[in-house]
Amino acid sequence: MARVAKKAKAAEPEKPIVITEQPITATLRENYMPYAMSSIISRAIPEIDGMKPSHRKLLYTMYRMGLLNGPRTKSANVVGETMKLNPHGDAAIYETMVRLTRGNEALLHPFVDSKGSFGKQYSKMAYAASRYTEVKLAPICAELFSGIEKDAVDMVDSYDARMKEPVLLPTTFPNILVCPNTGIAVGLASSICSFNLNETCDAVIALIKDPNADLYEILKAPDFSTGGMILYDREEMQQIYETGKGGFTVRAVWHTIPRENRIVITEIPYNTTVDQIIDKILQLIKEGKLREISDVRDEIDLEGLKLVIDYKRGSDPDKLMAKLLKATDLECRFPCNFNVLISGTPYQLGVRELLTEWHAFRCECLKREIFYDLTQKKDKLHLLLGLEKILVDIDKAIAIIRKTENERDVIPNLEKGFRIDTLQAEYIAEIKLRHLNREYILARTSEKEKLEKEIAELEAILSSSKKLDQYLIRQLNEIKKKYGQERKTKIAYEFDRPTNVLLSAAKEEYRAFAVMTAEGYLKNIPLKSIQMSDNHKLKENDHIVFSGEMSSKEELLFFTDKAQTYKARFEDFSTTKASELGDYVPAKLEMEKDERVVFSCPANGYQGKLVIVFENGKGVALPLSAYETKSNRKKLTGAFSAASRPVAMFVVQKNEVKELFFRTKLGRACILRTTLVPEKATRSSIGVQLMALKKNDAILSCEEVNTAENDALAVYKKPRIPTPGVPYTGKK
């Protein structure tokens, strides 16, 4: 049998890859921006009702399930139903529910009445699975949904268009400030602290009566479910209230049991947990920075939070707590960033603006609700007016119905017989035969006067913003009576901050050789090493500005080109050799980007003064004590005037006189004594004019000289300021 070779199929030529260039702006607009806006609008940022979409969908689902008045149901049932509105996984939905429960204690006024283990806001304790826990809506949720059945808010299609859901909840109190909210979107974040319900309602009432009311006397400070103590700073609160951005300090609450050598912490800041605090304390103990503590443990029970610290006999509990406040989250900052969606647009609003926006939103909800009630009552009154007309002759109405041969003619015949419209005729025709008696009809029509009075009241409210505000004030006062509670977070107007607390592990004091360079390098050289070699390695064009022996506890000052001062101890820098560059100070002290050191010196107990010469010919002497702080601050802003660039700085001790040699760009020079430079108390002072400069001239350099050792310098010496100087001959 002959073999027939199959003809190989010709390979198809590969299609060339076409690369289409697209401007980065188009990519951002078409791909990135829709994603960013979706995360901002549909996920992370709350709206004026105080709810994120996930909260709103969950609570509305529970409302539709009848859980406002009915018994509790398994959390798994709620999670499953919520997935019809919220296209996310069950874990995300259940986690949202956990935070809203009474058991979790995250909210001042929980929205979900719970049964089972839901963890705690102040602990990493895990919550039970949804199949084990039970939930229903808390009574306060009646205020969230008040008027929702009366067209108080718009309803829109769900994501699959199978059901309707509210755009916002018509909450009857300013939930935006009562319920804490934190969210991170793309390029935008929101962090809203909670406030006391009574104070918030009072603030709205005060703003209704007087838009310029002093909120600081009414809405005193935030209030958290975990309690704690706010260290009140009026300037910080003013910034938050006016701009919606800032922060404040919250401190734990504790008491000491001396006979048991025990500290019991019962309240901690809202934005931390017991576990984080314990982990930090254990770390400090391991590092040898807290030798006073013998044991620390979590004793949370049915009564609530309890963190117990046992301290060693002989230890001072007050000093120990000062260390803990400084080193752990027992005292921490709560950042505020009041970003809120208003009509789908994110805004950063202060407290006054938020309450004003909520007032406008609530008034609109009330108008819609009242208009709905008004329409219903008018329709009912209209029917009763028709029913009243048959009182004239009930027998006539019966006769019309009996004599009508066709059912479809009953309504038209009643309309003609009593001169009523179709709606009234249908209402009369549907009355049962047993009710066609004078007593029944009189009882029904007697409601007419009551309806007319109610209609008149509703119309008066709708037509008058003042009456609408009075109606809203009555609602807010009723809410205060039903749900108001005392503050949980205390306010400390006068308080002590932990200052000068040693938290580092004990280190023995030693002496070493310090070398500082103009480019910002510092060397901590052991004395033995410097004796073996003093040949210092420096970067190209760098030079030494200070060298000498000093104590490891000595504080060092570093002045930068951004008019800031950084402080550090000599022992904070690693030991090195003369043959190495040493630590780069801007990196070691975490200075700002592009910030460089222009001068450095030992603090020397903050004795003496700092003489600064500026490029514009001015100079000032500042006491070194102006840079001394009670707290261990590492950075001081506004270290000196930023009006002109500093050319040189010199430290002058008491009774010491230095001679400074000035040179200008246009070739002038002079020598002035430091005693001519006046001393100023404030760091921001620019000082006085030392050299009188011509237009386009500036100080080029300033350095220390000694005229006693160089007779050629005598020509440059000037006894008074300001001086124009003399032409520079090049001799120095």
Q: What span, in angstroms and rounded, lies between the C-alpha atoms of 707 and 713?
A: 6
| 132 is annotated as an active-site residue | yes
Q: How many helices (H) and strands (E) does the chain have?
A: 20, 33
- The tokens for 367 are 């108008």
Rounded to 5°, the CA angle 109-111-112 comes to 125
Q: What span, in angstroms and rounded, lies between the C-alpha atoms of 731 and 597?
A: 30
What is the SS3 assignment for 190? strand
Residues 6 or more apart from 270 whose CB is under 8 A from it?
A: 121, 180, 193, 224, 225, 226, 228, 250, 334
Nearest-10 Cα torsion for 537, 539, 540, 545: -80
Q: What span, in angstroms and rounded, lies between the C-alpha atoms of 650 and 619?
A: 11
Under a CB-based contact definition with an 8 Å cutoff, are residues 172 and 362 in contact?
yes
Give me Rg for the CA atoms of the chain: 39
Nearest-10 Cα torsion for 355, 361, 366, 368: 180
Strands (E) in 624-689, as ranges, are 635-637, 646-652, 659-664, 668-673, 688-689
Under a CB-based contact definition with an 8 Å cutoff, are residues 71 and 137 in contact?
no
Q: What span, in angstroms and rounded, lies between the C-alpha atoms of 728 and 667?
A: 5
Residue by residue, DSSP assigns 581-604 as: --EEHHHHTTPPTT--EEEEEE-G
What is the SS3 assignment for 275? helix
Residue at token pair 């939905």: 93
Q: What span, in angstroms and rounded, lies between the C-alpha atoms of 78 and 67?
A: 10
Under a CB-based contact definition with an 8 Å cutoff, are residues 327 and 333 in contact?
no
Q: What span, in angstroms and rounded, lies between the C-alpha atoms of 358 and 133?
A: 34
Q: What span, in angstroms and rounded, lies between the C-alpha atoms of 181 and 122?
A: 16
Helices (DSSP H) in 165-245: which residue ranges?
Answer: 175-178, 197-209, 234-243
- Positive or negative, the CA dihedral 206, 208, 214, 219 is positive
- The tokens for 436 are 């066609």
Rounded to 5°, the CA angle 268-270-274 comes to 50
- The tokens for 324 are 């803990």
Please pick, among 32, 35, 127, 132, the residue that the annotation labels catalytic. Answer: 132
Residue by residue, DSSP assigns 661-675 as: EEEETTSEEEEEEGG
Residues 6 or more apart from 127 whose CB is under 8 A from it?
A: 98, 104, 117, 118, 119, 133
Q: What residues act catalytically?
A: 132
